[in-house]
Amino acid sequence: MRKDRVYKLNVSFDADSCDINGADCGCPGGRGPSASCKHIAALCYAFLNFCELGSLPDFLTCTDRLQEWNRPRKKNLDPIPVTAIREHQQSITCPSISPRCSRIPSMYDPRPQNLR
C-alpha cells in the first residue's frame, strides 16, 4: 500500500433522500462509468459513521500511541532485609507427593567440602 498517492474523490448525494447519485475516484479502479474502488467505499463508510456519531473518530496509528507490549509490570513486593530471607527459606516445604522430600536445611551448601 502506497501512502504517497492522494486520489481525488467526487461523490454526489441526493439532498432529500441522502442516496448516492454518482461517485468517481482518481485511482485506476475508480475510473469509468461502472467503476468501483475501495476509496469510494471507505468515504461512504466514513460519511455514515459521521452521521451516526456526529464526529469522526481519531485516526491514531500504532506509532501515535505509547507502546504497551514491553511495559514492565508494577512491582508489588516490598523490600526485605537479607537476614529475613533465611526465615522464609525454613518455611518452604516440598509437596507431600514425594516421600524423599523434606524441609530444606537453612545452612545447606551444595559445594564440596574442600571448596567451601
The pLDDT-based confidence of 105 (bands split at 50, 70, 90) is low
Name, in order, each residue with C-beta under 8 angstroms of 37's C-beta and a sequence gap of 6 or more.
25, 27, 29, 30
Residue 61 three-state SS: coil
* Phi-psi category of residue 18: left, alpha or beta, with phi > 0 → left and psi -120 to 50 → alpha: left
pLDDT in tens, 13-72: 887 877 888 888 888 877 777 777 888 888 888 888 888 888 777 777 777 777 777 777
What's the pTM value of the predicted model, to 2 decimals?
0.43
- The one-character DSSP state at 114 is G
